[in-house]
Structure 1
C-alpha cells in the first residue's frame, strides 16, 4: 500500500473518483487471493479517492477564477514576519458552504498590529488561489511543500472580523515562559526550534549555514527527540513506580508513551513528531504483544500507516528524509551487525545523495566531517539537556534556566565554529542536471556491482560500469544553444546559454521581506544548467519587475558586462539601435531604442535579436506601441524572428497587429504572474497571436528552446510534470489533471 500511495508523486494525471471506486472494488476482490496485488490496488484507490475528495472544493468554489470569497475560519498557527503575518487556518465555511474535513488554507495578513493566536475565530474576505509556485526545474517547489502540509489553497486577506478571541492555551503559556527564560541568550531562536519545533523565528543566514554544513537535520525534531523523551519517562517510571509494575506489566512502556505524547503536544504535533510517535507506538505495541518483527518490517508498517492516515505526507521532503534515514540505519545494521559511528555516517551520506539531489539540487560536501563530531555532541549533550530543561519549565524554572543556558552556550560555540568553517568556503555544492545524472549512474552502478547477487565477479562488475558509462555518454548531448524563458512571476527573465556560458536578459522582481527572483529562480537555474560564466547581464529598463535584482546578480558575477537603457554603473553599455556583437556562435543585435531617455519608461526598453543564422529570438522587454511602430520600419529580415517574448507581458498597450505581422513568430512566450491584477496576457493579445504557438509562464512554467543544427526542441516545464504541478487544467473543466 505504501508503494502505491507513494507512486502518486509521479502520476501524470489524477484519475477521477470513478476510477478510484473501480480500483477499490478490484482490490477487495483480489486481496483475498493475491495479497500483494490487492494491497497495491487498495493503496491506489485510497490515494485517488482521498486526493479527489480533499481538492473537490477548489472546483466547486471556482478557485481558478480571481474573486473575493467569504470564509469563517479558525486559526491553527500564526507565523509573524517583519512586514506581515502568515496564518494557517482551518475553514468552517466558504461562501456559506461547509466541507468535511475542513480545508486547510495558508493566508497572508498585512496587518501587523492585530495580534492573532491559535484558536481565534475570524470572518474574512480573501482572494484565494490553488497551491501555486514558480514553475522552474530548479528552485523551491512550492506546490509540493504546501501539499505536504495538507494546505490546499493560499490567499491574501482583504478584510476580517474577529468573531471569537481564544484564551492562551497551556502550550502558549509554556512556550512564553521558555522564551522569557531565554531572553538574554545568544541563540534563543535555535534553542526554541531544537526543543519545540518553533522554526519560524530562526534567522535565514543561520538556516543557510546549517544547510551548507549538513547539520540542519540535527535542529529539526526527529525520532531521536521522541525516543529520548520516552526513555526519560520509562526511567522515571522505574524509579518511582516500580512497586506497581508487577500488577501492570506494561506500566513503564505506557509512561514512556505518555511522556512522548506530552512532548508531541509541546511540539504542536508537527508532522515529524507524529511520524516518530507512530513508529514508537508500533514498536512498543509489538513488545507488549511479544512479537519479534524485523526492523525492516516495522519500518514498512510504520510507513504504510503514516501514508494511509495522512496521504499528503507523500509530498513532504521531511517525511522522506526522516524515513529514509531510519531505513539507512537498518541497512547499516544489516551490513555490519554492529556498525561504528563512522560507518553509519558515510553510509548515511552516500545513500542520501540521490534524495538530496532530487529535493535540493545540491550536496553538502562537508557534511561527513562536520557531522562526525556534531552528531554525538547533539545526541549525548545538547539534545538531552535541552529536552529535560524544556520539561522542567513549569515545575522548576530555575533548573530549566540553567539547562537552557548550557545548551545556548554550546549552540553559540557550534554556530561560531560553522561560521569559521564557512570562511574557508561554502560547504554546499550546487549540482547541475547533467552532473546529477552522472552521480545517479555512478551510485546505481556501484550499488549493483557491490550488492547484486547477479554480479559475482569484480571484473564483470567493472565491465558493467564501463558499459553504463558509455551508454550514459552516448545518450547525453548538449544543444548548440538554449533559451530558457524563466517563470519569475509578474516580471521577465530570459537565460540564453551556450558552452557553459550565459547571457541573462532582465532579472525579475524583488519584494518586501527579502524574497527575490534572483535567489528563487535565476541563481538556481544558472547552477542547474551548469553555467560557469555569465558574460552579459542585460537590463531592458528600470521597471522593478525587470531590474530589481541586477545588483545582486552583478555582485555574484562581477565579470558580466552590463548592458541597459539606463546608466546602472559607470561601465554600463547604453542600449542603442545598431549595436551588435558576436557572442560565441550567436549574433546579438540591439534594435531599440534609437536613443534612451534614461530607462525610466517602457519605450526605452532594450530590444534584442539573437540569432545563429538558422534560429532567431526577439526579446522586447516592455516595449509598447510607439517603440513597435519604430521597429516595423526596420528591414523585415532584421525584425522577423522564430521566437518572440511578447512585449509588456502581453499587455493591450503592446503587440499591435502590424508588429506581429512584421515579426511573424512561430512561437510566442508571455511572461506573466499567476492571476496577476493586470490580467496579463490580455485575451485580445492572445487572439492576435493565433497564428503562433503560445505559452504563458504562469500556466506552463519555464519554456525551454534547445537548438541543434536544424532541430528545435521545445519543453514547457509544467506539461512534463506530475499532476500536482498542473492543477489549473483540472479546475477549468471536467478533464483530469494533465
Structure 2
C-alpha cells in the first residue's frame, strides 16, 4: 500500500481508536472495536505498537474526570437549552461555579408564565432557592433514563427551583444568537399558518417539539424522521445558497469562503447546536479552509477530524443517539459512493446501503427499523431537499417584507396533500421490523453480515447474501426458542401493569396498563406533551422485547391507575382481544372503549370460571363471581397455573374479596403473589397470606407515594416472606424454568 493510501486512512483509524477509547469503561462494544482495529492494522501491515500506545493514552485521558459538585446553587444562568410546557419550565442552567444543572420550576400564575414566554431567557441570571432532587431511575432498561440523560450532558444534578429573583442579563455572541433564534420562532408563530409552523421551526431553527404525535409516528414508520433534524442536507444547501448570493453580489470567491467560515458556526448555534448540525458545519468549514490554503482535504478525512475533535472536547457526546446516527450515516454515504460508482442508479443504491448501515444502531436504540425507509427516502430526500426546505427558507425571508402571501397560497395546498399522502402511507401494513433490543452477539452478527452484503453488491457474488438472510431468521425466531416463562411487573409508578410471556412466545398477556389520574387544570397549565404511562413506560418495554402483538389485554377494574394507559397501548401495539370486569360505563373507561370500537377489537366481560389455555399453562379467572360495578373488590383476579408453577394477580382486591378466595384450594402455596391494592392496609389480610403462602410477593407502588403504600402493617404481615417492591427495585422481571425454578433478573 502506498503512502498516499495509508495517509487517506490514517485519520479514520485514529478516529476509530479515539471513539473506542472513549467507550472503553462504559461498554464491551469498545473491546470488540479495538480488536477489529488491531486485526485491520495487522492485515494492512501497520505499526501496531504505536496504535496500542495511543489507545492506552486516550483511555487514561477519557477515564479521568473531575468530580461534579453537589452544592445547591445560589445563582443560575439559563442556557439556550430550555423548554416551557404548560406550567413548567425545564432546562439546563449554569450556577455561579460554572457547574451545569438540570432545572425545573413550576409557574405560580398565568401572568408569571407569560413574563417568561414573552422573551428569550438565554443568558438571564437569577438568585434562586430550591432543593436538589433525587434523580428517578429508569422504569426499566428500555425506557427513558433521566440519570443517563443528565450524565451524557454532564449535569451536576436535578435542581427544583422554589423562588428566583432576576439579577442581570449576560451578553455574549452565543446569547445574541439565542435571542435571534427566539425572535425567529416568534415570527414564525405570528406569520405562518398554524399547520405549517412545526415544520418551519424544525427545518429552519431546529425546534422539533412542535410536531404532533400523529405526524411524528408517521415519520418514524416511514423512516424519514431525520429529514426534520438539521444536518448535512440543510447545511450543504444553505452553504450553497449563501455562497451563490455572495458571488452574485460581486464578492470575490476567497472572501465568500471566509464569510462562510463565520456564518456557518453562527448558524449552528442559531439552529440549536445539535450534534448533526455541528458535524455538518465543522466538516464544511474544514473543506472550505483546506481549499483556501490550497491543500486538498478529503471529505472522509474532514469527517474523521471533526469526530476526533468532538470526542476529545466532549467525550460523552459519543453516547448521544444523534451524534452516533449523524456520523454513521455520513460515513455510510461517503463510502457507499465509492463502492457503488459503477452501478446503475447509484442514488437508489446509496440510500439502501446507508439505511442498512444505520439499521443496527436504530434497532439498538429504538427496537425497530422502518422497512419502507429504503424506498421512502428515495422519494422524500430530494423532495425535502429541493422543494420543502427551499420553500420554507423563501417563506421566512419574504415574510419579513410581507411578500409571502402568494407563496403560501401555492405551498399550503401542496403541503396539505403531502401530509395526506404521508398519513396514508403510514397505515400500509408490514412497514416495521420490530425485533426488539438485540443481544450483543446478534448485533455484531447483523453488522458483519451487512458488511458481507456490501461486498456481495460490489463483487456481484450473490452467495454472500446468505449469511445476512440467515442472521435475520435467527433474530426473528430466537424468542420462539426460549422455553422459559417470563413475567415482568412493570414499574408504572402508583399503578399496576404486568406482562406475561409464555414459553416459546406461545402467548403474550398484559394485565392492566398503569395510568395517571388526571384532574381538570386551567388551560395555561395544560402541557402539550403530557406524561403517558402506556406510551412512555409499557410500550417501550413491549418494543424492547420485540413484542408486536398482545394476545389478551386484561383490565382488572376501571381505576385510572390500572386502565388509563390502555388506549395508548392499543394505538401502538396490536391487541387481539380485551377482557374486563364490570363498570365499563365509567368515565375513566371512555377512551378505552372508544379505541376498542375504533379498531374493532373483541371485548369481553369476564368472571369466575372463564379460562384461557395455551400449551402447558392455563390462565383462570377466579373472581368476581357475579356482574358488578367495577369496584376494587370486583377486580378480575387472574390465576396462572402449570404443573410446576402458580401465580396470582389480584388487581385492587381488598379484604372482602380476599375472603371469598380462602376456600379455593388451588390458591394454596403460590409461587408468586402480586399483592392487592399496591399494599394498602385494607388488603393482604393475615388469613389470605397464610392461605396463599407465596414463595415471592410483589408490590406495585410508586416511589414516595402519598398513600404510604405498601403500608407498614402489611409489610409486618408479610414478615418472614420474600417480598419485592417496584418502588424500590423498579421493573421486576422473573424467569421461570420448565422445572418451576424462579430466577430473578
Q: TM above 0.5, one fold?
A: yes
The aligned runs of 1:199-598 (5 Å cut-off) are 199-240=208-249, 242=251, 250-337=254-341, 340-387=346-393, 390=396, 397-398=401-402, 408=412, 410-425=414-429, 427-432=431-436, 441=445, 444-448=448-452, 451=455, 477-498=481-502, 499-510=505-516, 515-529=531-545, 531=547, 534-551=550-567, 559-564=576-581, 566-567=583-584, 572-576=604-608, 582-592=613-623, 598=629
Q: Which residue of 2 aligns with 1:177?
A: 187
Following superposition, the deviation at residue 650 of structure 1 comes to 3.5
C-alpha distance in structure 2 between counterparts of 1:275 and 1:299, whole Å: 8
Residues 37 and 172 (structure 1), Cα distance of their counterparts in 2 relative to 1, 3 Å cut: same
CA displacement, residues 65-96 of structure 1 (integer Å, 9 cap, x when unaligned): xxxx9874536445343x4334214142xxxx
Q: Which residue of 2 aligns with 1:25?
A: none
C-alpha distance in structure 1 between counterparts of 2:478 and 2:604, whole Å: 42
C-alpha distance in structure 2 between counterparts of 1:42 and 1:534, whole Å: 50
Following superposition, the deviation at residue 615 of structure 1 comes to 0.9
Q: Which residue of 2 aligns with 1:642?
A: 671
Residues 382 and 656 (structure 1), Cα distance of their counterparts in 2 relative to 1, 3 Å cut: same
Among 722, 732, 738, the residue aligned to 1:703: 732
C-alpha distance in structure 2 between counterparts of 1:165 and 1:406, whole Å: 46
C-alpha distance in structure 1 between counterparts of 2:369 and 2:213, whole Å: 19
Gapped regions of structure 2 (runs ≥ 5): 1-17, 30-46, 171-175, 519-526, 586-592, 594-601
- 1:2 maps to 2:19: yes
CA displacement, residues 255-293 of structure 1 (integer Å, 9 cap, x when unaligned): 112221332232233443233223333333444444444
Contact 1:78 / 1:87 at 8 angstroms: preserved in 2? yes
TM-score by length of 2: 0.77
Residues 538 and 87 (structure 1), Cα distance of their counterparts in 2 relative to 1, 3 Å cut: same
C-alpha distance in structure 2 between counterparts of 1:531 and 1:670, whole Å: 25
C-alpha distance in structure 1 between counterparts of 2:376 and 2:570, whole Å: 32
Contact 1:650 / 1:680 at 8 angstroms: preserved in 2? yes
C-alpha distance in structure 2 between counterparts of 1:516 and 1:470, whole Å: 34
Does 1 or 2 have the higher relative contact order (CA < 8 Å, sep 6+)? 1
- May I ask how many residue pairs the two structures share in their alignment? 667
The aligned runs of 1:96-245 (5 Å cut-off) are 99-106=97-104, 109=107, 112-113=110-111, 114-115=113-114, 116=116, 117-119=120-122, 120-122=124-126, 123-125=128-130, 128-130=133-135, 132-137=137-142, 140=144, 144-145=148-149, 147-150=151-154, 153-154=157-158, 159-164=162-167, 169-182=179-192, 184=193, 186-240=195-249, 242=251
Report the RMSD for the aligned CA atoms in angstroms: 4.2
Contact 2:673 / 2:698 at 8 angstroms: preserved in 1? yes
C-alpha distance in structure 1 between counterparts of 2:396 and 2:511, whole Å: 52
Residues 154 and 408 (structure 1), Cα distance of their counterparts in 2 relative to 1, 3 Å cut: farther
Q: Which residue of 1 aligns with 2:590?
A: none
The aligned runs of 1:40-119 (5 Å cut-off) are 40-50=55-65, 53-54=67-68, 56-57=69-70, 72=76, 74=78, 76-81=80-85, 83-92=86-95, 99-106=97-104, 109=107, 112-113=110-111, 114-115=113-114, 116=116, 117-119=120-122
Contact 1:536 / 1:560 at 8 angstroms: preserved in 2? yes
Residues 541 and 297 (structure 1), Cα distance of their counterparts in 2 relative to 1, 3 Å cut: same
Contact 2:223 / 2:370 at 8 angstroms: preserved in 1? yes
TM-score by length of 1: 0.77
Contact 2:216 / 2:225 at 8 angstroms: preserved in 1? yes
CA displacement, residues 557-584 of structure 1 (integer Å, 9 cap, x when unaligned): 66414132545689643544x6655454
Contact 1:364 / 1:428 at 8 angstroms: preserved in 2? yes
